[in-house]
Amino acid sequence: MNKKIILSAVLAVSLLATAGMALAKKPEGIKPGTQKIDWNLSGAVMPVPLYGSGDIIGSDTASKLKVNSDKDSVKGKMKGLTPNTTYTVFISNPWTPYVCTGWNVTGAWDLSFVAESGAIGTYSHHMDVTQASNGTLTGTGYYIPAPSYTWVIDPGSYVSGNDVVIKLHFTAGHPSDWASTFTGTIDSSGKLTGTWIDTGVPVSSGTITTLLGQALKNCTGTTGWTGLLTPTIQPFTFTTNDKGDGKWKVKIKDSDVEKPADFSVWINEGGATILISDNATLEVGKVKKVK
């Protein structure tokens, strides 16, 4: 056989073997049984205020958290924190993100109807409103200077996201076919603003602003610290260096909790929570074979 062919075959086998070893090589820096867990700024996952006051932007992505189920260890490699500062670590129960979606306008309101056409002037009305789970509105109201002028909220009134539509007709003081439609939004402070038009004589239209009342966000999730995972692991501290870096490590033994154990890690400084980890699970360790 040609020597060149033999040499090429040997070289090909060697390259395949080397490629196989490269593919089988374990990722550097990650030990068997280890999970990487993400950090969150406290204000990103809990209600603001109280949370978010001590957050340090970027510390959540710069810092690392690893959980090794085989060694029952939890390790933090913290970066981007305040230099030469002592922080407290809380091994805590799991949590659910605090999420706000949409608004709820249920409650008592005083609204200023400013007519810019028709019967020009300012007319203040009181409204008691109830919002259903699907966003539809019901309620009653009256003209504040003359409470005998009453009205009701009609079908077709609703809240959707930041948008509000309120349709009403008078039940006393004006003919029952005298109706108004308010179309507006809820601003960041929970106030109603927008425009209105009625079918009165003369037809009037203008703007509406809030004198009294506030919409509240529809929110779900954990609103505060979830408590220690186990009293056997009390809060402990670490101190950052001149660069704002620090390390810590803790073991969660079988005697501490029943595995698998779900938990989270909270970092505090000066009485404020600044970092909250994603929920992690300490799995049941590998069973060692008896030789």
Please report, for the domain that includes residue 145, its CATH number: 2.40.128.120
pTM above 0.85, yes or no: no
What is the C-alpha separation between 184 and 168, in angstroms, rounded?
14
Residue 248 lies in a domain: yes
Residue 14 lies in a domain: no
Q: What is the mean pLDDT of the chain?
A: 89
Asked whether residue 82 falls in the same domain as residue 108, the answer is: no
Asked whether residue 86 falls in the same domain as residue 114, the answer is: no
The pLDDT assigned to 57 comes to 97
Could you say which of 199, 219, 239 is where a domain stops?
219
273 band by pLDDT with thresholds 50, 70 and 90: very high
Asked whether residue 276 falls in the same domain as residue 133, the answer is: no
Asked whether residue 161 falls in the same domain as residue 205, the answer is: yes
- Asked if pLDDT for residue 9 goes beyond 60, the answer is no
Percent of the chain beyond pLDDT 70?
Answer: 87
Average pLDDT in the 161-167 region?
96
CATH number at residue 253: 2.60.40.380
Asked whether residue 117 falls in the same domain as residue 40, the answer is: no
Residue 88 lies in a domain: yes
Based on the structure, what is the number of domains in the chain?
Answer: 2
DSSP sequence for 217-254: EEEES--S---BS-TTS--EEEE--TTS-EEEEEE--T
Asked whether residue 203 falls in the same domain as residue 108, the answer is: yes
Q: Domain range for residue 133? A: 101-219
> Comparing C-alpha atoms, which of 146, 149, 148 is closest to residue 169?
149
